[in-house]
Chain A
Amino acid sequence: MNDEPAAARRLGRRDFLMATAGASLLGAGEVRAQQPGPWAIAPKSKVDTVNFVVWTYGDIYTKISAKFQADWGVPVQSTISSFNDHPAKLMTMYAGSETIDVSQSSPFSFPNFISQGLVEPLDDLPGAKDYLADFTGSCKQVAVYDGKLMGLPYFSTVWVWNYYTDLMEKAKFEPFTTYDELLEQLRKAKKDKIADYPIFWVAGVGLEQLPGTWYQMTWNRGGVFFDKDGNHQLGPGSIARETLKWWIQTFKEELADPESLKAQFTASAKAFGAGKNVYRGPNHHYGLNVANDPAQSPNAGKIKVLGSPGDGKTIGDTHVYFLCTANRDKEWAWKLLQYLGGKTKDGQYTQAIALARDAMLGSGYNSVMNSAAVTEGWKPWGDPVEILKIWDKATYVAEVVPSIYKPWHFPWSDRINIEVSKALTGQTTADACCDTLIAAIKEVQKG
């Protein structure tokens, strides 16, 4: 992501690809460990079991648990809930004095978990510095808190736009390059009955769904939500406020699919795959692995990725695994944490590579992002070159909304969901919405 000059990053990736091309002569297109590292050394202590508390994602945890047990002879117990239920599940287990070796967090709740004392720093653990050296900029911004390494990456993503080629051809549209052009195209598509609702937004209630869409478009237009000194940027005439006014217009004119307001990322990808909308608003890049999956979408292969207007600035983030302070044995918990967010016994980023190849997820490790797991692994669903171009223009979302680093961001995010939903459904105006959110900042800071 946008933590270093783009040219340098591109060069870095190219260099790395050349290096891995050499490695492929050995029969591997990915990064391989050259020598045994700390990840291959067994902990001195003994445990009967280890456990993790995570939110669900396919069968990745079954596989990695089996690998852990095969490698170390220690069974892994898992507590898996839905993404939305995860914080409550983790909280009740922690508060109930249950043992939790490893858990995970979105970047939005991570500062809160840290402030509640759930997260164990990793700096002094064997191999931690190697991981840190391989982190992407975005990953560092999430996983390093107050100068301490607090987690290992689960996955990284950037926000991209999508369009449906059949309807674009039918409407004779070229992908939009400005917001005005987008609005005109949406109006024309509706008028010409190309689509009842030409655009589908990811505007369901969540930490990064509805708020993320607003964050992304505001950032792309050159705005932020707080400046470096922590002052809000939501006042009259602010870019965030104007962006919201523009966004509301798409609902007011019934250009936006009403189902947008319930859509989470995967649900919106499935809905967009049905082929009823021309565009899909900013969303996690990996939604393509649903929308372009023949098993899940009747229009697989016809959903294309599109960068943002203007200079193409977008946002991205990284979700993390962390070692819980309620662990049974720090050494073993660290071992398990590495299986989920780092290297397995063979020195491979097994989980990160599998997530890239099977689920199109990005990684918090430069070496994985530059490997064939991404450059080849993403090809069944989208154009990796195009997506990586967008990736280079992405900034960690907390640069746009620095309150993410604060424990009060979570309750404030609740207010964003409520007030922006009200604005989008015509219950209030953009001005009233922003004024309420400004007032809510002080309220949640007190909490």
Chain B
Amino acid sequence: LTARALAAAKPYRFSRELSPHALGVAMNIPTLVTLALVIAYPIYYAAYLSFHKVSLAELRRGIFPFVGLANYTRIFNDSLFLLALKNTLIFTAFSVTLELVLAIAIALLIDQTSVWTGRITKFLILVPYAVPPIAGGLIWSFIYSFEYGFLNRILFTTGLSATAVNWTGHPATALFAVAVPYIWRTLPFAILLVHAALQGINQELYEAASVDGAGAMQRFWHITLPLLRPIIVVILVLRTSFAFAVFDEVLAITQGGPGDATWVAAWYSYKRGFSPPFDIGVGAASAYVLALIVGMFAIAYVGLIYRRIR
């Protein structure tokens, strides 16, 4: 009786029901408004600033003279900006590649349920992610210290190096000395993503492959890696974006030095915008160029990898 009654009863409806399309739009409005306020407006405002002369006095008065492309012309004529872009590209290529390889390797290791230490490792791996970037940078500064650092001490006592290496003070090593703490800090995030993706792979695929005589490497190349591609795209897009904007480690460890060896794009924008003579328009222009480059990389990654999947 109850079932019949339920089936006969009309479902409750609002007097004026929204169409699925309208409902979808309505449900998205709060998100759109929030995104517009916290993301789109700053992006628009940064673009606006990049076409105007903006320094301290203009900010105070709230009047920004229009300068057209002058700020962009200035940065593209500035050898330091071009060098900062080059350093950023090297930094990004090195850190993202290494991070991706390490993330997959470590995620595969901690995915081994037969190894009981995996549980502890899963927890410990998250620790660097919880360390504030500046604090992490300072810790690594001590590790790198020429005279008193742990790194030189370890290399010396293990016989790997007879003399101390000036990791952050030598132009050949400084950029990589900044990249390592950056990778250390951001790697857990990538590991988590890969680890989560691994949980979604059907174990029967591996079992079937094993039955067909596939070895571990074959299973990795033909099952794991192809199925990880979507998450690899996500990691590439996210990590490339963040690596392009690296700042904290540079601030805490080298401050752009020695010389201009670790001047990266975000450091350039900061120095132009936030130290006298406070050329915020120039800083905004350089940040915008950086954002465009990151955007192009993101589109390229998505296009390239999804085309392969199809």
Residues in chain A within 8 A of chain B (CB atoms):
87-88, 91-92, 94-95, 97, 109, 112-113, 115-118, 205, 258-259, 261-262, 276, 326, 407-408, 410-411, 414, 417-419, 421-422, 424-428, 443, 447
Contacts and interface: CB of A to CB of B under 8 A. Distances in A.
B147 A91 contact: no
A259 B260 CA distance: 17
A117 B60 contact: yes
B276 A411 contact: yes
A427 B276 CA distance: 27
A418 B146 contact: no
Interface stretch (B51-59, B111-119, B293-301): B51-59
B169 A109 contact: no
Nearest to A260: B169
14 contacts: A87-B274, A91-B276, A94-B59, A94-B60, A262-B168, A408-B277, A410-B276, A417-B257, A418-B260, A421-B258, A425-B258, A425-B259, A426-B171, A427-B259
Given A112-B276, A418-B80, A117 B56 contact: yes
Interface residues of B, number: 32
Given A408-B277, A411-B276, A258 B169 contact: yes
A298 B303 CA distance: 62
A234 B18 CA distance: 76
A261 B257 contact: yes
A88 B275 contact: yes
Contacts of B278: 91, 116
A258 B259 contact: no
Contacts of A261: 169, 257-258
B284 interface: no
A414 B78 CA distance: 13
User: Could you say which of B56, B146, B255 has the most chain A C-beta atoms within 10 Å of its C-beta?
Assistant: B56
B59 A95 contact: yes
B271 interface: yes
B170 interface: yes
B108 to A, nearest CB: 39
Interface string B118-130: 0000000000000
A117 B274 contact: no
Contacts of B74: 447
Contact of A87 (B55, B259, B276): B276
B60 A95 contact: yes
A422 B256 contact: no
A87 B166 contact: no
Contact of A262 (B169, B274, B277): B169
A205 B255 contact: yes
A91 B259 contact: no
Contact of B256 (A91, A411, A418, A419): A418
Contacts of A115: 277
Given A97-B60, A118-B56, A414-B271, A205 B256 contact: yes
Nearest to A112: B276
Contacts of B282: 447
Contacts of A87: 274-276
Contacts of B78: 443
A258 B276 CA distance: 29
Contacts of B258: 261, 421-422, 424-425, 427
A426 B171 CA distance: 9
B259 A421 contact: yes
A422 B171 contact: yes
B99 interface: no
Given A91-B278, A259-B147, A418-B256, A425 B171 contact: yes
